[in-house]
Amino acid sequence: MAPVSSNTGRRRGKRVALAAAGAVLALGLAGCSIDLSHLRPGGGEEQPSPEPAEPVAAAPLMEEALAALAEYPALTATGQVAESVGSADVRDASLTVADSGTASGTVRANSVEAELLGADSKLFLRAPEAFWLDQGVFGPDFDDFDGNWVRASASQAGFNPSATLAPPTLSAILGGIELESEEAVEENLDGTLTYRVDLAGERNQVWINAETKQIQRIAIEELVPEGAEAGPQVRLDLAEADTAAVEELYDGAIAAAEEELTGSRDARIEVGWEGSPSMSCEDGPNCTWSGTVQDSGGDGSGEVAVRMDVTFSNAEIGEQTCNDSGTLKAGETLELSCGADYNIVSSTQQTYTIDGEAQLSTRGLTGGQQEDMLAALSEQREATLSGGDASSEPSESPSTGEGEGD
């Protein structure tokens, strides 16, 4: 058990969070088998070999499957994902992703499950505190993370499904990988006859249902969107989502945007004070609080809306409050300052000792962003259900293929 200290955003005091990692012992049982086939009727006779299957050309099979995938209004994906090739942090995922990139479902890390919502190029997670502790995430409003929606990065979620699994996007990514073999191989996949297509790379394979000609499973060592430098490693079972699933996806996303996301926090940058903030008071008393906010973790991503709330207090004359807000970009700093004037008028000079305290907090979605998200979701829902083009330009262009979830 190792202590981890975190800056709570207050001028005084510290908070210490303890995270414990449990070790899991897996036991494997080895046994021996005995061949009793010779005791069965005819067991001693040589059996005829089955006729070899006719070879199937991989290129036209893959082309047909990718064309069908690109036309899905939405897909369901169930399996495992890892942030990068060879990563030990493998997560279970169960998701529905629309052609617009709107996504909903769950990801599970170290037996702790988090709900995921991707909408309007933004990524949110709702998880217990243990999930965030396991990610090594801290912030001034960490106490508000537990069980609430929190704006997250693709690395915190494990990957960004909106940027990789939207049906047209996934079709384009898979279509950009060359074939390793010109022939597809018949394979029984979970009781279903499929054709396995081997793609270029060490572990790139696609299984196509022999009857429906739709992609049933993918195992891709690096699912890299266009314009990105890297992508997640995935092994996922895929299926076309039905109309009910599409409606449930959009209805849930719209309800969350209307009722819950404006109260969300943002975990993409560890927000904290750079040095010590300053406080000064003049006649009035007229007090000012100023400080510099920084990316304390040094590995944040994107830009985060930060708010500072300051309380000035004295036992005799009471409290005064003020606030300031701004946008903190990853790796940069933000200056915040505000003041409050008691404006006490007295015939005799009085001296007061004023105490001050400041609290930093983050916002996962501002009021303007909420309006944009709701408008986009409404348009995308209509387009997806009508069979039109539901894709739209993201609010903030993803430079890494991970969208604004980055």
Q: What is the mean pLDDT of each run of 10 residues along the chain (406 residues)?
A: 37 34 33 39 52 80 98 98 87 98 96 96 97 90 95 95 97 97 95 97 94 98 91 97 98 96 95 96 96 93 96 97 97 97 90 96 94 97 86 44 44
What's the pLDDT score for residue 24?
A: 33
Whether 241 and 355 share a structural domain? no
What's the pLDDT score for residue 147?
A: 95
Whether 82 and 183 share a structural domain? yes
Whether 228 and 282 share a structural domain? no
CATH code for the domain in which residue 220 is found: 2.50.20.20
What's the pLDDT score for residue 86?
A: 79
Helix axes 243-259, 367-386, angle to 10 degrees: 170
Whether 295 and 233 share a structural domain? no
The answer to whether residue 38 sits within a structural domain is no
The answer to whether residue 34 sits within a structural domain is no
Torsion sign over Cα 132, 133, 134, 138: positive
Q: What CA–CA distance (Å, rounded) separates 386 from 406?
A: 30
What's the pLDDT score for residue 52?
A: 56
Structural domain of 92: 56-262+368-391
Closest CA to 196 of 352, 188, 397: 188
Q: What CA–CA distance (Å, rounded) separates 66 from 60?
A: 10
Whether 372 and 338 share a structural domain? no
* Residue written as token pair 């060490």: 202
Whether 73 and 191 share a structural domain? yes
Whether 231 and 358 share a structural domain? no
The answer to whether residue 33 sits within a structural domain is no
What's the pLDDT score for residue 84?
A: 86
Whether 224 and 279 share a structural domain? no
E-strand stretches of 162-315: 183-189, 192-198, 205-209, 215-220, 233-240, 265-266, 271-273, 278-282, 286-295, 303-314
Whether 153 and 238 share a structural domain? yes
> What total of structural domains would you count in the chain?
2
Closest CA to 278 of 203, 339, 201: 339
The answer to whether residue 359 sits within a structural domain is yes
CATH code for the domain in which residue 299 is found: 2.60.40.10
Please tell me whether residue 354 adopts helix, strand or coil conformation. Answer: coil
Q: What CA–CA distance (Å, rounded) separates 265 from 262?
A: 9
The answer to whether residue 8 sits within a structural domain is no
> Taking a C-beta distance cutoff of 8 angstroms, is the pair 146, 129 a contact?
yes
Whether 243 and 187 share a structural domain? yes
Residue 199 DSSP label: B
Q: What CA–CA distance (Å, rounded) separates 140 from 220?
A: 38
Structure tokens at 23: 């070790």
What's the pLDDT score for residue 349?
A: 87
Q: What CA–CA distance (Å, rounded) separates 70 from 234?
A: 19
The answer to whether residue 49 sits within a structural domain is no
Whether 250 and 276 share a structural domain? no
Whether 292 and 326 share a structural domain? yes
